[in-house]
Amino acid sequence: MKAARQHLFIDFEFTMPERNVRVRDFFAEIIEVGIVAVVDDHITEQFSSFVTPLKFPKLTERCKSFLHITQQQVDTGLSFFEFIRKLEEFNKNKLDTTIVTWGNMDMKVLRQNCLAAGVAFPFHAAELDLSMEYKRFFGDQNQTGLWKAVQEYGKEGTGRHHRALDDALTTYNIFKLVEKDKRYLEKPQPTTIGDRIDFSKFLNEFA
């Protein structure tokens, strides 16, 4: 019997500096998290929360208007340490786990934030950048944005773009579409005799 596998579809939203304003030592911090946990094709948990940034707690106007996140939402969110404890819970079931993100920034920023806060990285898992998988699979020259990729499939994203849980769900939906296409290509349909013989030529031989 095949062992159960867990996929964690994760999206974070980050703080942003004001345009054309240099802030000393500024780095992006996670302010919203969306996670969809899937075990053997079944969603087992959906988690969403705001997170209070540690180093630069005051959001810039650019960040608030771009993400439609208010200062009050992050002020009343999880502390960074509560957020890390929540992420660690996804290791507890001891399942073979793959973290799936769209792009590599989410895990980069999480690692940097953990380093700055002096806490251990919370996951023991393989990591898959679905945007690169998508690019390889479709032979795109450029990396495609998450919602553009969905539209290329003739679908719509879930909820609203730049909402962490909606983007995590949209990533999960694309993952399912790509996996389905890969399976389809790996198992070509058996050819029929009609595919192997051009009957019009065949009949002409006897005309």
Measured CA to CA, the distance from residue 133 to residue 103 in angstroms comes to 10
- Joined tokens for residue 203: 């009949």
Please tell me the distance from the alpha carbon of residue 89 to that of residue 166, in angstroms, as a whole number.
Answer: 21
Residues whose CB falls within 8 Å of the CB of residue 56, separated by 6 or more in sequence, listed in order: 15, 23, 26, 29
Q: Is 162 a catalytic residue?
A: yes
* φ/ψ of residue 133, rounded to 5: -60, -45
Pick the catalytic residue from 88, 127, 152, 162. Answer: 162
13 is catalytic: yes
Distances in whole angstroms, Cα of residue 45 to Cα of each of 42, 84, 132, 142: 9, 17, 25, 33
Which residue out of 13, 18, 133, 186 is catalytically annotated? 13
Catalytic machinery residues: 13, 162
